[in-house]
């Protein structure tokens, strides 16, 4: 067995149908008395419900979270937290809202409670991202990791089938890269493989039956494991490329991950054979990259950059940005094959065997 170091931070997880009702108790456990609730404009009603549940513990609602956390939005939210004298935040929503809570914590050191309503997985991590000047930059800090996460699968019932598919594929990407990360461990490999299996069996059911309780619970469980895998390992080409495409070209986060994942997996195929074997086996496929592409196709998710708004003339700039700084990856990241990867993804080409 290879040598490894496994470090597991403490993070309280409350899981189960209807557990949103535990929000006031979790606030009390953390000693938080003035919580600023965060949401996107689309999930403002969910934010209002959280405010109602918190009662006197709620300091207000900021419902303007935006994808990729533009620095301007982060600054306004930080100012609002100061204005209402918040001692913490509640992020109810997907990775967009969790990301805003992290941006606030990064500067103001305010603890947060995350209530995920998608399968992003970022609620389990110390990873943050901010977009400034057309470029998304990420980092890690223990102070941005939420102090508690409430997984209530019933909150995902209203997620449209297409968003459920892309959100799940986004989380799958965390698992794929965790399996071939240079700092992976046997525990993380177990988490990642089980997460892939759970998504592979639950997402097709959700597509047919959006309110299937067992499938929604299974997918939320998978997202939890994917978040742990994301937090404990260093991500490679896939995540770097998705951050470049999302932050610099304002493409939708989960959709970008869905499109790029099969192609980034194919790029690393020969350099990470054991990871590829685990991915394929967890998907019930013969080949990891093709299995991921076929799963996305079965779910009716986008498979090309063109259909999610990428302009072909921007592919060269994307390749330049993605190769500007070095980062860990099983296969060396070189511009020519990366440019070919982008072209294949732009056209929605199924990876070759």
- Reply yes or no on whether the pLDDT at 1 is more than 70: no
Is 179 found in the same domain as 139? no
Give tens-digit pLDDT for 30-88: 999 999 999 999 999 999 999 999 999 999 999 999 998 999 999 999 999 999 999 99
Q: How wide is the angle at C-alpha 259 spanned by C-alphas 256 and 261, nearest 5°?
A: 100
Cα 328 to chain centroid, rounded: 19
- Examine the pLDDT at 249 and tell me if it is beyond 70: yes
Q: What is the pTM of this model?
A: 0.92
Looking at the structure, tell me whether residues 132 and 181 fall in a common domain. Answer: no
- What tens digit of pLDDT does each residue of 105-123 get? 999 999 999 999 999 999 9
CA distance 284 to 241: 27
- For residues 167 and 152, state if they share a domain: no
Q: Point out the domain boundary residue: 132, 156, 180.
A: 156
Q: Is residue 5 part of a domain?
A: no
What is the rounded distance in angstroms from the CA atom of residue 344 to the CA atom of residue 351? 8
- How many independent structural domains does the chain possess? 2
CATH of the domain at 42: 3.40.50.1970
Q: Which two tokens stand for residue 224?
A: 């939890």
One domain, residues 141 and 172: no
Range of the domain at 91: 12-156
Q: Are 80 and 61 in contact (CB under 8 A)?
A: no
Do 181 and 38 share a structural domain?
A: no
């Amino acid at each position: 067995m290879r040598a490894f170091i496994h470090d597991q931070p403490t993070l309280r997880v409350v899981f189960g149908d209807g557990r949103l009702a535990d929000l006031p108790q979790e606030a009390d456990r953390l000693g938080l008395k003035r919580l600023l609730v965060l949401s996107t404009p689309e999930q403002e009603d969910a934010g209002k419900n959280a405010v109602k549940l918190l009662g006197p513990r709620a300091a207000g609602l900021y419902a303007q979270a935006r994808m990729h956390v533009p620095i301007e939005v982060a600054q306004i939210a930080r100012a609002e937290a100061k204005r209402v004298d918040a001692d913490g935040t509640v992020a109810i929503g997907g990775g967009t809202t969790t990301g805003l809570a992290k941006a606030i914590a990064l500067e103001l050191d305010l603890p947060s409670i995350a209530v995920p309503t998608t399968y992003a997985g970022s609620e389990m991590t110390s990873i943050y991202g901010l977009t400034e000047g057309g470029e998304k930059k990420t980092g890690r800090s223990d102070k941005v990791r939420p102090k508690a996460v409430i997984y209530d699968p019933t909150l995902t019932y209203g997620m449209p089938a297409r968003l459920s598919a892309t959100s799940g594929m986004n989380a799958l990407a965390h698992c794929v890269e965790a399996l071939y990360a240079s700092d992976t461990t046997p525990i993380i490999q177990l988490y990642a493989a089980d997460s892939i299996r759970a998504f592979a069996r639950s997402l097709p059911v959700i597509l047919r039956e959006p309110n299937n309780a067992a499938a929604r619970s299974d997918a939320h469980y998978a997202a939890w494991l994917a978040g742990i895998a994301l937090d404990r390992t260093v991500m490679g080409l896939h995540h770097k490329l998705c951050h470049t495409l999302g932050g610099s070209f304002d493409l939708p986060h989960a959709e970008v991950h869905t499109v790029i994942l099969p192609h980034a997996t194919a790029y690393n195929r020969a350099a990470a054979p054991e990871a590829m074997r685990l991915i394929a086996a967890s998907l019930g496929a013969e080949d990891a990259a093709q299995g991921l592409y076929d799963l996305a196709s079965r779910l009716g998710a986008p498979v090309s950059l063109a259909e999610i708004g990428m302009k072909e003339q921007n592919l060269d700039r994307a390749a330049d940005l993605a190769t500007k700084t070095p980062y860990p990856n099983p296969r060396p990241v070189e511009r020519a094959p990366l440019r070919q990867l982008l072209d294949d993804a732009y056209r929605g080409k199924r990876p070759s065997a």
